[in-house]
Chains A and B, each alone.
Chain A
Amino acid sequence: MSNATHRIGTSTRITGSVVGAGDQTAAGAIEGNIQLDGSLLLEATSQLVGDVAATAIRIGGKVVGNVQVDDKALLERSAELEGDLTASSLSIEAGASLRGRFAAHSDPAQLPPARPSRGTAPDRSESLPVTERVSRVASKKPAAVGASASTEQLALLSRTPARVRSDEQ
C-alpha cells in the first residue's frame, strides 16, 4: 500500500500538517507535523519544525521537534535534531548533533518524561543529563552527540536491542 513516493523539493515550503501513506523525501522546509505510514528521508537541505511519526526516518537536515518512529532512525552527519527521538534502532553518524533525549525501544511509555522542546526555554541545565552538564561547564559549549547519554538512558538502551554507533565512519 505504501508504494507511493512523495517529494518536497528544495525550494518548497509547507506550512501545515502532512498525513498519509508512502515514502517521503523532503529537501525543503516544513513547518508542521508529519504523520507518515512509510519512511521519511529528510535531506541535508531540509528544515522541519514539527513533530514526526513515521515507520522509519533518515535525517540529514535540521529538525526541531519530537521524532517517533517504529523502526530505524538514522542521523546523518549533517543532521541537527533538537527534540526527543524514539526508535527501535538508532544510529548516529559522527558529526550529527542531537539535543534532546533519545530512547531506542518499542514502548514509548519507557521514554523519559518529555521536556519542552520548543518555545520557552527554561533553565535547561535542570533537565540536562549529568554528563552533559559537566561537559558544558568544562567546555562552555553546547553539548554534542556522545556527551548526552545519561546513565539512566544508557541503562535503558542496554535493555533493548538498539545499536548506537556514534563514532564510526
Chain B
Amino acid sequence: MAITTQARTASPQPSGTVIGAGLTVDGEIGGNEPLTIYGAVKGKISLTDVVIIEKGSVVEADVEASEIKVYGSVTGNLVATDRIDVATNARVIGDLRAPRIQIAEGATFKGHIEMDV
C-alpha cells in the first residue's frame, strides 16, 4: 500500500530533538532520542536513535546513530548500527559504515562504504 511514500512513511516521531532551520549548533550533540536537523550542525553527533538530516540542512559533523537518514547535505563520516539511507538529492561527502546502506538514485556521494559492523 505505502509503496509510493516508502522513504517518508518511516520518518517518525515528531518528538525528540529538533534543530530547526535558522539554528546553528557548534559542538557535540548526544542522547538517546530521535534527532531531526533542518538547520546547521558542526562538530559531532552521537546518539543511540534515529538521526534525520532534512532537506536544506547543512551538517559538518561525524554522525553516529542507530539509523541515519539523509535528505540534506552532510560532510563527515556516518556510522550507523542499523542502517543509512541517502535520499535523492541528498549530498554526502564522507565514509559510510552500517550493516545496511541505501543510496537513492540522484544522490551525490563521495567516500567509502563499509558494510560490516
Contacts from A to B (Cβ < 8 Å): 1-2, 4-22, 24, 28, 32
Contact = CB atoms under 8 A, between A and B. Distances in A.
* Majority SS at the chain B contact face: strand
B111 interface: no
Interface of B: 15-35, 38-39, 43, 47
A73 B33 CA distance: 29
A14 B27 contact: yes
Nearest to A21: B22
A17 B31 CA distance: 17
Given A6-B19, A9-B17, A17 B32 contact: no
B20 A4 contact: yes
A32 B27 contact: yes
Contact of A11 (B19, B21, B22, B31): B31
A15 B116 CA distance: 30
18 contacts: A4-B20, A6-B19, A6-B23, A7-B16, A7-B17, A11-B32, A12-B16, A13-B31, A14-B30, A15-B28, A15-B30, A16-B26, A17-B26, A18-B26, A20-B23, A20-B24, A20-B39, A21-B22
